Amino acid sequence: MKRLFTIILLISLAAFTVPSVSAQTPELVAVYVSPETQETGGGTTVLCIFDDGTYTQSAVQAGQSEIRVRGRWAKDSWPVGPGYVRIYPARESQAAGLTPVVAESGGSAVEDAYYDEGVDTKTEIIGFTEYRGDPAFRFLSAGDKIAVISPSALPGWAQTEETIEGLRSWGYEPVLGKHAVAEVRTLEQCIEDLKWALEDPEIKAIFCIRGGYGATEVMDALDPALIAGAGKPIIGYSDIAVYHGAWTRAGLPSIHASMSGAFEDFPEACAEAERRMMRGELPVYRCEADAYCREGTAEGILIGGNLASFTASLDTAYDSATLDQPYILFLEEVGENMQHIHRFLTMLRHEGILDGAAGIVFGEWTELPADGRGNYGESRGGLFESVSDMISRQFLDGLNIPVAFGFPAGHGDINYPLLLGAKAKLDVSADSFTLSWPDTAGAQSNAGGTHEGNAGRNASETEARMMTYTVRGSDAAKG
């Protein structure tokens, strides 16, 4: 009875966390609560999810609720942390499927507090080329088994089921990792799933359900020789950029592309490009250039990904910027203000990574604070008009290389796939730029070593789920 009263109280308090609106009040989709934590002074954190893509995080103590965080959540970045328990709606409900639904009119004040850059660049695919790199590296064919895991943060069941169904609709046989989705898991269990996906010879690729955080911890504990010996691609982005670096260091290409978001109201052009890239067909992109682009042509191994995750990989065994080959650097970011982006780029400059690039492609900058937080340009000759303006004024002087801004890849609704760890070509002119892979030689491996898969690997039994799919360690479908 006491627990029921507590739940009713928390849901009631949640009603007071609905953001102010300009037209239509967002609907409460789900409520999660955390255990008592020191951060809330022994109280409880309540996370309220709304159907317009916003959330609030409140501290509740002694019956008082105070909003501490307002934000937006992305398709692949659900803000529920470990230990949270969903109290509304019931756990069995699919209503917490976490698919963002933006109101047809109006919108919340929280949503209006953010803006995106580089998400609306006019882009077209003017052709496809076949992968002509290492013949020992194998892309996918119809009917192949794909490991479905989440080697960074934990996903929800809705994300997982969408990914499984989506991959099946693309003609593959998805195999769910034993620890891919759970209420709680250990680092060792996360590593176990990744090692299984690498070692099992029947698995031909690794498809990540979501990004989030935690990849550096996994890679710090993983033998790089497992990646080099597996010879199979990994697909994902965001925190998965850490794994892309490891794949590049192993001399293998990897696919920077949408994860569960590829099966949620995803632009068909992006989905088609991702499907074809997974089978070794590489797009030739032509994008409209803006005033910040710098003309020129460059060839080199395409490296990078999420700016924060890439920066966290510096000076590690999976740092792809240590290649003894020319490289083209790609970077994107979500949820960081201009000052934080500047700090990350400063770290890259100090490491010589910007100076060492043959060319640079900047992607999407999403969920930037619209109120100007972090824009310190008044001390640098005037407020920065945009992230592109800040980068151009602060980081490009003295770099005699081609630079493209606004390639539509990252955390926006449009996310075109990129083949990392393979030789790419960037050609920037006054009115457009192209990005292609005409000669797909891969990076030279820095890892070395080979590893044979374990065909006899068996896992313990897994729970039955609400849909039919293959779970590793079981010869029968669960249902």
pLDDT tens-place string over residues 296-327: 999 999 999 999 999 999 999 999 999 899 99
Residue 424 burial (CB count, 10 A): 27
Residue 47: pLDDT band with limits 50, 70, 90: confident
Nearest to 32 by CA among 50, 52, 53: 50
Percent of the chain with pLDDT over 90: 59
The predicted-structure confidence for 386-429, as pLDDT tens digits, reads as follows: 999 999 999 999 999 999 999 999 999 999 999 999 999 999 99
* 151-176: average pLDDT: 95
Residue 82: pLDDT band with limits 50, 70, 90: low
* 351-357: average pLDDT: 97
* 128-153: average pLDDT: 93
Tell me the CATH number for domain 114-139+248-448.
Answer: 3.50.30.60
d(CA 95, CA 88): 9
Is 83's pLDDT higher than 70? no
| Residue 339, φ and ψ in degrees, nearest 5 | -65, -40
pLDDT of residue 221: 96
* Chain mean pLDDT for the chain: 81
Helix 338-350 / helix 387-395 crossing angle, nearest 10 deg? 30
Long-range CB contacts for residues 423-426, cutoff 8 Å, separation at least 24? 423/133, 423/299, 423/300, 423/301, 423/302, 424/299, 424/300, 424/301, 424/302, 424/328, 425/297, 425/298, 425/299, 426/297, 426/298, 426/299, 426/328, 426/359, 426/361, 426/402
Q: Quick one: DSSP state of residue 36?
A: P
* 82-97: average pLDDT: 49
Residues 141-232+453-479, CATH architecture? 3-Layer(aba) Sandwich (3.40)
Contact 278, 235 (CB under 8 A): yes
Which DSSP helix (H) or strand (E) runs through 158? helix 157-169
Is 43's pLDDT higher than 70? no
pLDDT of residue 167: 98
* 440-453: average pLDDT: 50
Every domain range in the chain assigned CATH 3.40.50.10740: 141-232+453-479
* 12-28: average pLDDT: 50
CA atoms within 13 A on the CB side of 276: 17
Is 98's pLDDT higher than 50? no
Every domain range in the chain assigned CATH 3.50.30.60: 114-139+248-448
- 45 or 102, higher pLDDT: 45
Residue 19: pLDDT band with limits 50, 70, 90: very low
Which DSSP helix (H) or strand (E) runs through 106? none
- 27 or 14, higher pLDDT: 27
pLDDT of residue 50: 78
pLDDT of residue 57: 77
Non-local (6+) Cβ contacts of 327 within 8 A are 300, 301, 302, 303, 320, 321, 356, 357, 358
Is 139's pLDDT higher than 90? yes
Helix (H, G, I), strand (E, B) or coil at 263: helix
Residue bearing tokens 């002119």? 429
d(CA 212, CA 435): 27
d(CA 352, CA 417): 27
pLDDT of residue 381: 77
| Residue 399, φ and ψ in degrees, nearest 5 | -95, 110
Q: What angle do CA 116, 118, 120 make, to 5 degrees?
A: 90
